[in-house]
Amino acid sequence: MLSKFKRKPFILVLAGVSLCSIAAYCASSNDTFSRATLHFREKSYNKSYSLALKSASTPESSFLMAVSAYRSGKLEESLPLLEQAEKQLPLLGDYAALYQAEALLKLGRHAEASTRADGVIKNYPGSLLIRKAEKVKVDTFVAAGDHNGAIKAGRAFIEKYASGADTVEVLYHAALSREQTGDREGAAVIYRSIWLNNPLSAQSGKSIERLKALEAKGTRIEAFSAAELIRRSTTLYALNEFSQSLKVVQAIPQAGQPASVLDQIHLRSGLVYYRLKNWKAADRVLARAVASKSPAISSEARFWRARVLDRMELDDQAFSMYADLTAEGKKQLYADDALMDAAMMKKHNGRYAEAAALFEKMPDRFRESKFVSRSRWEAAWCRYLAGEYQTSAASFNLLSQDPEHRERALYWLARSQERSGGSASEAVFKALLEEYPAGFYAAWTREAKGIKDTRESLPASGLKINAPLPAGFEKSALLAELGMQSEARQEAAVAAKKKNGGKKDIFPGLARLYLDMSDYGSAIKLFLQNRPVKWDKASLPLWTAGYPMPYEQLVRQHTTENNLSAGLIYALMRAESHFNPVVKSPVGAVGLMQLMPATAKATAKEKGRFDVSRLVVPEYNIKLGTRHFRDLMNSYHGDTIYCVAAYNAGSAAVNRWRRSMKGLQQDEFIENIPYQETREYVKKVYASAAIYRQLYGLK
Query: Residue 3 pLDDT > 90, yes or no?
Result: no
- Which of 39-43, 58-62, 321-325 is predicted with the least confidence, judged by mean pLDDT? 39-43
- Which of 352-356, 376-380, 466-470 is predicted with the least confidence, judged by mean pLDDT? 466-470
* Nearby residues of 333 by Cβ (< 8 Å), 6 or more positions away: 295, 296, 299, 300
Query: Residue 497 pLDDT > 90, yes or no?
Result: no
Q: Check the CA dihedral 18-20-23-24 and report its sign.
A: negative
- Condensed to tens digits (0 to 9), the pLDDT of residues 190-239 reads 999 999 999 999 999 999 999 999 999 999 999 999 999 999 999 999 99
Q: Nearest 5°: phi and psi at 487?
A: -65, -40
Query: Residue 10 pLDDT > 80, yes or no?
Result: no
pLDDT number for residue 1: 34
- Condensed to tens digits (0 to 9), the pLDDT of residues 101-138 reads 999 999 999 999 999 999 999 999 999 999 999 999 99
Return the CATH architecture of domain 29-226: Alpha Horseshoe (1.25)
H helices of 597-675, in order, are: 597-604, 618-635, 640-649, 651-660, 666-671
Taking residues 490-511, what's their average pLDDT?
Answer: 84
Confidence of residue 462 (pLDDT cuts 50, 70, 90): confident
Q: Secondary structure of 343-378 in the HEC alphabet?
A: HHHHHHCCCHHHHHHHHCCHHHHCCCCCCHHHHHHH
pLDDT number for residue 391: 97
The answer to whether 273 and 240 are in contact (CB under 8 A) is no
Query: Residue 319 pLDDT > 50, yes or no?
Result: yes
Query: Residue 274 pLDDT > 70, yes or no?
Result: yes
> What is the average pLDDT value for the chain, to the nearest integer?
93
Q: How far apart (Å, rounded) are the C-alpha atoms in residues 348 and 672?
A: 9
* Nearby residues of 509 by Cβ (< 8 Å), 6 or more positions away: 465, 467, 468, 469, 470, 473
- Condensed to tens digits (0 to 9), the pLDDT of residues 644-683 reads 999 999 999 999 999 999 999 999 999 999 999 999 999 9
- Which of 56-60, 184-188, 299-303, 669-673 is predicted with the least confidence, judged by mean pLDDT? 56-60
- For residue 252, which of 278, 234, 279, 240 has the smallest C-alpha distance? 234
- For residue 68, which of 107, 113, 99, 112 has the smallest C-alpha distance? 99
- For residue 237, which of 285, 284, 274 has the smallest C-alpha distance? 274
- Condensed to tens digits (0 to 9), the pLDDT of residues 240-266 reads 999 999 999 999 999 999 999 999 999
- Ranges of each domain in the chain: 29-226, 474-546, 558-696
pLDDT number for residue 4: 34
Describe the chain by its helix, strand, coil percentages, rounded to 5: 70, 0, 25
Taking residues 153-174, what's their average pLDDT?
Answer: 97
pLDDT number for residue 502: 56
Query: Residue 19 pLDDT > 90, yes or no?
Result: no
Asked: is 558-696 a CATH 3.40.50.300 domain? The reply is no
Percent of the chain with pLDDT over 90: 88
Which class for 5: exposed (0-12), middle (13-18), buried (19 or more C-beta within 10 A)?
A: exposed
pLDDT number for residue 232: 96
pLDDT number for residue 31: 87
Query: Residue 599 pLDDT > 80, yes or no?
Result: yes
- Condensed to tens digits (0 to 9), the pLDDT of residues 324-373 reads 999 998 888 899 999 999 999 999 999 999 999 999 999 999 999 999 99
Taking residues 77-106, what's their average pLDDT?
Answer: 97
Q: Nearest 5°: phi and psi at 584?
A: -130, 130
End-to-end CA distance of the chain: 71
User: To 10 degrees, the CA torsion angle through 60, 66, 69, 73?
Assistant: -140
Number of H helices, E strands in the chain: 38, 0
